[in-house]
Amino acid sequence: MAVGFDARRFLRDRRDNRRHAPEDLRAFVHALVHGGIETYQVTAWLMAAYLNPLDDEETFVLTDAMMRSGTVIEFAPGELPGPTVDKHSTGGVGDKISLPLAHLVAACGACVPMISGRGLGHTGGTLDKLESIPGFDPRLPVAAFKAQTKRLGLAFGAQTKELAPADGTLYALRDVTATVETIPLIVASILSKKYASGTAAVVFDVKTGRGAFMRELAQSKALAERLIAVSRRMDRQAVALVTDMDQPLGRAVGNALEVVESIEVLQGGGPPDVRELTLALAAEMLVLAGLERDVAAARSRATRALDGGDALGKFRAVVEAQGGDPRVVDDPTRLPRAPRTVPMKAARPGFVTKIDAYAVGEAIVALGGGRRRAEDTVDPAVGIVFERKVGDRVAEGDLLGVLHSGPADPLDVAKALAGAIEIGDRETAAVPLVRDRFD
Ligand code: URA
């Protein structure tokens, strides 16, 4: 198919904002995976596609071609013990929701074949969090991924050479060419991976605010609408919640620290915002999967599974099945721990008016908890645990949070973080966690 692919003509079309023919987009994706286009041509196309965004039809064709660039997992009717449904977040800071949520929904009878990503830019990734559990292997081959979904109703997998490889190539190049933040490329990236995993339905958690890729509410809503429109063209069911990412989600930011917080939520505790978003998304997933008729009934079912310990039991089983140490559930000190902790204190009395999620995400990367380049390894132990959230009253000297750092001197990071937390005289009105819903 790539034979005859004229990369220069393809580039000229994008540069001059001429619509790509479907066969050209498919030939481009084929060339990406099998050879036939140079990396410098791909990056030129990415910038042209950033400046002249693809329309809906082009986005659909690109998504479909990227999904088919590797194996597309299929589950035969009756092969699984329950209906398939998955969740995808567009990326945030402290966003560990997949960990409690996937286990909770599987404990309620749905099957969740979950393909997750690594941290990108200032945002964290589920795979990095899972890998902080000693022994956990999220890179299941397709056959093992299918078998575990069948047996436990949940498996964690990664985008690999087998699954949506075109996204792997494009994603790494977008990250280093400042071409991540454009709706058509985000839609194609997310949907190609998700729908290669064999799920029939997805609930999208579209983040909005300073820690999101789409900072403005209007842009986030536009992204939610496009995710749903293209999902529909691909014959999949989808719902999207647009949720706040102005301040980090929960209290913990950093891979192992977020696993600890996820276990707390699975034990029926944890920070209120993490528990609330877990339940809100779980309810949507159970309705989308057809396991409950309405969101209220689905929420009660999910609440029972969370507070009754079923979701925690599922977590234990999945961790063990994927080679991880299940003892972390009862003894989180088995997770990697940073050698140093540095308290961050309030310089003045007042109310916390802002915790800038983007600055916090960048601070985690500076500590080694995220990547500057794709080949970097992450330090699973580093991070921050906040003791205060936006709206809280503080006295001078009160503990705002604790920085967990590696051997490197964390003082510059502590300074950057101090700038990320604002204390004012007046209490700010709380922003609702769920800003909008699309179906
Ligand atoms: N998450 C993805 O998988 N892809 C994007 O482009 C952005 C967020």
Cβ contacts of residue 411 below 8 Å, gap of 6+? 342
Task: List residues bridging with 350 in a β-sheet.
Answer: 394
- Of all protein residues, whose CA lies closest to atom 1 belonging to ligand 1? 90
Catalytic residues: 88, 167, 174, 189, 193
Please give the radius of gyration of the chain, using alpha carbons only, rounded to the nearest integer: 21
Distance 292 CA to ligand 1 centre (A): 29
Give per-residue burial for 104-126: e unless 16+ CB within 10 Å, then b: bbbbbbbbbbbbbbbbbbbbbbb
The Å distance, Cα 117 to ligand 1 centre, comes to 8
Q: What is the pLDDT of residue 1?
A: 47
Tokens 């035969």 locate to 76
Summarised one tens digit per residue, pLDDT across range 198-255 is: 999 999 999 999 999 899 999 999 999 999 999 999 999 999 999 999 999 999 999 9
Per-residue pLDDT of the chain (439 residues; tens, 9 = 90+): 445 799 999 999 999 999 999 999 999 999 999 999 999 999 999 999 999 999 999 999 999 999 999 999 999 999 999 999 999 999 999 999 999 999 999 999 999 999 988 887 788 899 999 999 999 999 899 999 999 999 999 999 988 889 999 999 998 899 788 898 899 999 999 999 999 999 999 999 999 999 998 999 999 999 999 999 999 999 999 999 999 999 999 999 999 999 999 999 999 999 999 999 999 999 999 999 999 999 999 999 999 999 999 999 999 999 999 999 999 999 999 999 999 999 999 999 999 999 999 999 999 988 989 887 767 889 999 999 999 999 999 999 999 999 999 877 677 888 888 889 999 999 988 889 999 999 9
Would the CB of 66 count as within 6 Å of ligand 1? no
Residue 3: per-residue pLDDT: 54
Which residues have a Cβ under 8 Å from the Cβ of 182 and sit 6 or more positions away? 49, 50, 53
One-letter-per-residue 3-state SS of the chain: CCCCCCHHHHHHHHHCCCCCCHHHHHHHHHHHHHCCCCHHHHHHHHHHHHHCCCCHHHHHHHHHHHHCCCCCCCCCCCCCCCCECEEEECCCCCCCCHHHHHHHHHHCCCEEEEEECCCECCECCHHHHHHCCCCCCCCCCHHHHHHHHHHHCEEEEECCCCCCHHHHHHHHHHHHCCCCCCHHHHHHHHHHHHHHCCCCEEEEEEEECCCCCCCCHHHHHHHHHHHHHHHHHCCCEEEEEEEECCCCCCCEECHHHHHHHHHHHHCCCCCHHHHHHHHHHHHHHHHHCCCCCCHHHHHHHHHHHHHCCHHHHHHHHHHHHCCCCHHHHCCHHHCCCCCEEEEEECCCCEEEEEECHHHHHHHHHHHCCCCCCCCCCCCCCCEEEECCCCCCEECCCCEEEEEEECCCCCHHHHHHHHHHEEEECCCCCCCCCEEEEEC
Tell me how far apart the alpha carbons of residues 285 and 102 are, in angstroms, rounded to a whole number: 10
* Contact assessment for residue 93 and residue 209, using Cβ atoms and an 8 Å cutoff: no
284: tokens are 């949507």
What's the pTM?
Answer: 0.94
Angle at 10 between CA 6 and CA 12, to 5 degrees: 120
- The encoded tokens of residue 209 equal 């605010």
- To test the pocket of ligand 1, the residue of 67, 116, 175, 189 to mutate (highest count of ligand atoms within 8 Å of its CB) is 189
* Residue 435 CB partners (closer than 8 Å, separation 6+): 208, 217, 220, 242, 243, 244
What's the confidence (pLDDT) of residue 431?
87
**What per-residue confidence (pLDDT) applies to 80?**
96
| Cα–ligand 1 centroid distance for 39 (angstroms) | 20
Q: What is the pLDDT of residue 2?
A: 44
Nearest CA to ligand 1 atom 2: 190
Residue 418: the pLDDT is 86
Q: Is the CB of 220 under 6 A from ligand 1?
A: no
For 77, counting Cβ atoms within 10 Å of its Cβ (0-12 exposed, 13-18 middle, 19+ buried), the class is exposed
Q: How many whole angstroms separate alpha carbon 170 and alpha carbon 152?
A: 32
Nearest Cα residue to atom 8 of ligand 1: 90
φ/ψ of 261, rounded to 5, equals: -65, -35
Pick the atom of ligand 1 nearest to 190's CA. 3
Alpha carbon 35 to chain centroid, angstroms: 29
In short, whether 189's Cβ falls inside 6 Å of ligand 1 is yes
* Ligand 1 pocket member 124 (CB < 6 A): no
